[in-house]
């Protein structure tokens, strides 16, 4: 009785002694102590202040505060800064003000809050709705958040969220979840590849306790300017960027520290206070001794996999893997094909399995090949993961494989096709083929194998699938080295596997095997607009296809903010569409198709004859950013994006002209007065002709009318139609209707 009272009291009193130590999720799975020590060093950012030459100690990049004022409510920030680990138990931010007397600490936190509130501006925001909370709850528990964070029923060792409802608005948390890496470039909170509306739903769930909107905050300029000084004085800027360049004086190097003092002691002084556990202190002290040691490539890989918590989802050799407590939150669309259709693939030997180019696609761009797994492979940012591709290749050496090359005279690709089909090994009973399948159960697409996996791994895997994945349902077709199909290629296993490989090496060009269900999956547009975010021809992965009920369709490039394609009639074929990335590209079905020029849609031209800028997207980043869209009652999106200094809304709707023909009306609004020389490029091509006031024929299938005076000018061999932006704009696109009778949709 007595002891339980004491425990209760200890839990209630917010004292430093009782503060929860920083939580580094997954560190207990790290394996070697040397690895765990290095992970702690980087997660707690010791090297942000203490000079260090040990690359694996490099400090985790703390949140970028240059827009913090639009992200978080100032009142919360003040509480958090005054006592980080009390307000967000388990946080990795140390208590920098711990040594100040309480009054000074609160004053400093208040001034810092006023300063931070000047960085960005909070926009008014709605409260979450019950439906969105419900949808968000499901997503939160299935897309992968609970691999690191706690599910609704708390699980110890999870990355804490802190009191989100007092920190974020629905709008600011949605924006954060859509692109966490820009606020937190350290990549520990990865981009989970959320699609349309998913971020808003999850944000609604996380803010389910928010019942009243935030009151607007008034900045006190004098306090803000004091806060700005304190920010440097207390070395906040050693960890946080704010956009301003300031330097902190250097501090004793890690290898010169007295390990019992300062940040590693329980004493308070003019250093950051970390509420470390005894275990963490010991690990950090022993890590200090590793400052000059070298870390092997295997250790470097383990450190990365631990600090980014890859090992909460993946197993690699002896470490990691989905824990039993979290296993229920990993699900798949159809689990009849076993664990592999819900649990992320093992990373054991992944360097020998995947081609380096695909590894990079996965690690840097979050490429996906298993649309049936609900958990998303997150993006951690190239800076965090890029080195792993080469490291995996270096660590996981390929095993030689036994196969016999089948000569061209025997038509190996034809034989491979036969082997893959229903009358052969019937691979398509389980695997999709270019997005199509022979049955409702679907595993990895066969046409992606050659792009992804190494040839010798393919042979080894096919020969003994259970050696790679003990419980796989993927059968062995050559038990005891004997083929189940002795009539083909003399039943020679090595030759049969080679024929399969040569066939699959054709990738998406390979002819369908027999037995596939072949109807194309056409995305139909009926009474409401339909939106499909996907790769489109000529756009790449950030395409947005929109089909309108009257039969006009468009593809928008959400990287360069350009209208990329217009067409009439049927919308798109979706058979090769997969969730997320993959190589699936939408196929445009209708006709005629009008393509608009590649390159940025907007630019500031210094002179009237300055050439339109070109952006090489393989090496440059788009200066524009896409901000999502809202939908009206007919599901028509208003696209939102930001150009440097200007926010734009872009809305398309079908209308009828006086003769009853449908056209597409486009309305562009701009948040602020446009800079001089700011233009929209409307079209380019060899055939553009003026047809009347602000009206131009572009090629033979399109007439564009504009609300303002456009400029038609020569651009090399072609012409360019530019529209100076001086205020909001309206454009009309009159596109020739679908060429085939009956193909156009009825409005």
Site residues for ligand HEC, 495-514, by CB under 6 A, read: 500
Choices 120-128, 233-241, 592-600, 674-682; region in contact with ligand HEC by CB under 6 A: 233-241
Separation of first and last alpha carbons in the chain: 75
Minimum CB distance to ligand HEC, residue 218 (Å): 18
Q: What is the dihedral of CA 594, 599, 604, 607, to 10 degrees?
A: -80
Q: Does 403 bind ligand HEC (CB under 6 A)?
A: no
Stretch 105-134: interaction string toward ligand HEC, x if CB under 6 A: -------x---x------------------
Q: Does 643 bind ligand HEC (CB under 6 A)?
A: no
List 133, 142, 161, 640, residue binding ligand HEC (CB under 6 A): 161
Cβ atoms of residues 203 and 177 within 8 Å:
yes
Binding residues for ligand HEC, total number by CB under 6 A = 116
Cβ atoms of residues 69 and 59 within 8 Å:
no
What residues contact 604, with CB distance under 8 A and at least 6 apart?
A: 675, 676, 677, 678, 679
Six-digit token pair at 53?
Answer: 């030459």
Six-digit token pair at 320?
Answer: 């990691």
Q: Round to whole Å and give the CA distance between 703 and 690.
A: 10
Six-digit token pair at 235?
Answer: 């070395």
Q: Does 143 bind ligand HEC (CB under 6 A)?
A: yes
Long-range contacts of the stretch 690-696 (C-beta < 8 A, 24+): 696/721
Q: Does 344 bind ligand HEC (CB under 6 A)?
A: yes
Cβ atoms of residues 446 and 427 within 8 Å:
yes
Cβ atoms of residues 377 and 365 within 8 Å:
no
Between 224 and 688, whose beta carbon lies closer to ligand HEC?
224
List 82, 117, 224, 263, residue binding ligand HEC (CB under 6 A): 263
CB atoms within 10 A of CB 14: 12
> Which residue is listed with tokens 């309480």?
102
Choices 154-162, 604-612, 654-662, 696-704; region in contact with ligand HEC by CB under 6 A: 154-162
Minimum CB distance to ligand HEC, residue 679 (Å): 36
Site residues for ligand HEC, 21-80, by CB under 6 A, read: 44-46, 48-50, 62-63, 65, 68, 71-72, 77
Residue facing ligand HEC at closest CB distance: 262
What residues contact 329, with CB distance under 8 A and at least 6 apart?
A: 141, 142, 146, 147, 151
Between 384 and 553, whose beta carbon lies closer to ligand HEC?
384
Between 300 and 313, whose beta carbon lies closer to ligand HEC?
313
List 214, 461, 641, 663, residue binding ligand HEC (CB under 6 A): 461
Q: Round to whole Å and give the CA distance between 124 and 131.
A: 21
What residues contact 121, with CB distance under 8 A and at least 6 apart?
A: 69, 70
Q: Does 149 bind ligand HEC (CB under 6 A)?
A: yes
Six-digit token pair at 609?
Answer: 């004859």
Cβ atoms of residues 488 and 478 within 8 Å:
no
Q: Round to whole Å and give the CA distance between 445 and 431.
A: 6
Cβ atoms of residues 270 and 104 within 8 Å:
no
Minimum CB distance to ligand HEC, residue 280 (Å): 8
> Which residue is listed with tokens 């501006």?
121
> Which residue is listed with tokens 């691999």?
147
Choices 125-133, 447-455, 544-552, 667-675; region in contact with ligand HEC by CB under 6 A: 447-455
Minimum CB distance to ligand HEC, residue 541 (Å): 14
* CA proximity to 274, closest of 98, 108, 109: 98
Choices 99-107, 454-462, 479-487, 726-734; region in contact with ligand HEC by CB under 6 A: 454-462
Q: Does 351 bind ligand HEC (CB under 6 A)?
A: no
Cβ atoms of residues 274 and 57 within 8 Å:
no
List 458, 478, 571, 596, residue binding ligand HEC (CB under 6 A): 458
Between 131 and 356, whose beta carbon lies closer to ligand HEC?
356
Q: Round to whole Å and give the CA distance between 575 and 577.
A: 6
Site residues for ligand HEC, 293-332, by CB under 6 A, read: 305, 308-310, 312-314
Q: Does 449 bind ligand HEC (CB under 6 A)?
A: yes
Site residues for ligand HEC, 467-496, by CB under 6 A, read: 472-475, 477
Between 190 and 550, whose beta carbon lies closer to ligand HEC?
190
Site residues for ligand HEC, 368-387, by CB under 6 A, read: 368-370, 373, 375, 377-378, 380, 385
Q: Does 169 bind ligand HEC (CB under 6 A)?
A: no
Choices 289-297, 422-430, 645-653, 654-662; region in contact with ligand HEC by CB under 6 A: 422-430
List 37, 69, 74, 186, residue binding ligand HEC (CB under 6 A): 186
Q: Does 698 bind ligand HEC (CB under 6 A)?
A: no
Between 45 and 723, whose beta carbon lies closer to ligand HEC?
45
Q: Does 96 bind ligand HEC (CB under 6 A)?
A: yes
Q: Does 98 bind ligand HEC (CB under 6 A)?
A: no
CB atoms within 10 A of CB 210: 19
Minimum CB distance to ligand HEC, residue 206 (Å): 6
Give the length of the chain.
747
Minimum CB distance to ligand HEC, residue 547 (Å): 27
Q: Does 426 bind ligand HEC (CB under 6 A)?
A: yes
Q: Return the CA Rg of the chain.
A: 29
Return the exposure string of 601-617: e unless at least 16 CB atoms fall within 10 Å of the residue's CB, then b.
bbbbbeeeeeebeebee
Between 447 and 565, whose beta carbon lies closer to ligand HEC?
447
């Amino acid at each position: 009785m007595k002891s339980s009272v004491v425990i209760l009291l200890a839990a209630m009193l917010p004292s430093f002694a009782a503060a929860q130590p920083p939580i580094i999720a997954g560190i207990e799975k790290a394996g070697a102590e040397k690895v765990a020590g290095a992970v702690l060093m980087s997660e707690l950012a010791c090297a942000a202040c203490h000079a260090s030459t040990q690359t694996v100690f490099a400090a985790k990049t703390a949140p970028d505060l240059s827009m913090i004022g639009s992200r978080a409510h100032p009142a919360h920030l003040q509480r958090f800064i005054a006592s980080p680990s009390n307000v967000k138990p388990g946080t990795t931010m140390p208590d920098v003000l711990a040594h100040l007397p309480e009054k000074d600490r609160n004053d400093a936190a208040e001034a810092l809050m006023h300063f931070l509130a000047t960085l960005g501006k909070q926009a008014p925001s709605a409260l979450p709705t019950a439906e969105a909370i419900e949808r968000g709850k499901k997503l939160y528990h299935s897309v992968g958040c609970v691999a690191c964070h706690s599910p609704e029923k708390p699980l110890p060792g999870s990355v804490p969220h802190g009191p989100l409802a007092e920190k974020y608005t629905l709008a600011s948390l949605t924006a954060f979840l859509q692109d966490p890496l820009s606020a937190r470039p350290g990549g520990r909170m990865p981009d989970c590849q959320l699609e349309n509306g998913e971020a808003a739903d999850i944000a609604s769930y996380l803010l389910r306790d928010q019942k009243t909107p935030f009151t607007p905050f008034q900045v006190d300029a004098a306090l803000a300017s004091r806060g700005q000084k304190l920010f440097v004085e207390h070395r906040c800027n050693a960890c946080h960027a704010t956009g301003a360049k300031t330097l902190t004086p250097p501090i004793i190097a890690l290898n010169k520290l007295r390990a019992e003092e300062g940040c590693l002691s329980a004493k308070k002084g003019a250093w950051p206070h970390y509420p470390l556990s005894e275990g963490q202190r010991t690990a950090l002290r022993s890590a200090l001794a590793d400052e000059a040691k070298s870390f092997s490539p295997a250790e470097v890989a383990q450190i990365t996999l631990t600090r980014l918590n890859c090992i909460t989802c993946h197993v690699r050799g002896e470490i990691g893997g989905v824990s039993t407590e979290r296993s229920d939150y990993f699900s798949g669309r159809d689990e009849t094909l076993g664990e592999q259709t819900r649990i992320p693939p093992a990373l054991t030997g992944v360097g020998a399995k995947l081609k380096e180019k695909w590894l990079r696609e996965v690690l840097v761009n979050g490429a996906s090949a298993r649309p049936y797994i609900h958990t998303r492979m997150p993006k951690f940012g190239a800076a965090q993961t890029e080195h792993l591709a080469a490291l995996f290749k270096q660590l996981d050496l390929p095993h030689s494989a036994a196969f016999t090359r089948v000569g061209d005279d025997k038509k190996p690709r034809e034989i491979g096709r036969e082997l893959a089909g229903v009358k052969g090994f019937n691979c398509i009973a389980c695997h999709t083929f270019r997005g199509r399948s022979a049955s409702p159960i679907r595993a990895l697409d066969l046409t992606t194998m050659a792009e992804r996996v190494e040839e010798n791994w393919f042979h080894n895997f096919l020969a003994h699938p259970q050696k790679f994945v003990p419980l796989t349902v993927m059968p062995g077709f050559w038990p005891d080295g004997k083929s189940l199909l002795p009539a083909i290629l003399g039943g020679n296993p090595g030759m049969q596997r080679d024929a399969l490989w040569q066939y699959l090496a054709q990738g998406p060009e390979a002819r369908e095997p027999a037995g596939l269900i072949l109807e194309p999956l056409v995305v139909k547009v009926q009474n409401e607009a339909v939106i499909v975010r996907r790769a489109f021809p000529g756009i790449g992965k950030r395409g947005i296809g929109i089909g309108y009920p009257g039969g006009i369709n468009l593809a928008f490039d959400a990287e360069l903010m350009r209208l990329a394609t217009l067409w009439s009639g049927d919308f798109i074929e979706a058979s090769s569409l997969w969730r997320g990335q993959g190589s699936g590209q939408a196929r445009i079905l209708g006709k005629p198709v009008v393509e608009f020029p590649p390159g940025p849609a907007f630019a500031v031209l210094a002179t009237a004859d300055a050439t339109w800028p070109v952006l090489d997207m393989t090496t440059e980043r788009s200066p524009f950013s896409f901000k999502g869209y809202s939908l009206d009652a007919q599901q028509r999106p208003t696209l939102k994006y930001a150009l440097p200094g200007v926010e734009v809304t872009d809305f398309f709707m079908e209308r009828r002209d006086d003769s009853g023909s449908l056209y597409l009306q486009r309305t562009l609004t701009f948040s602020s007065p446009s800079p001089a020389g700011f233009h929209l490029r409307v079209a380019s091509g060899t055939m553009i002709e003026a047809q009347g006031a602000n009206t131009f024929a572009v090629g033979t299938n399109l007439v564009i009318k504009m609300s303002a005076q456009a400029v038609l000018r020569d651009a090399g061999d072609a012409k360019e139609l530019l529209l100076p932006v001086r205020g909001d704009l309206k454009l009309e696109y009159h596109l020739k209707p679908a060429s085939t009778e009956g193909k156009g949709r009825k409005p």
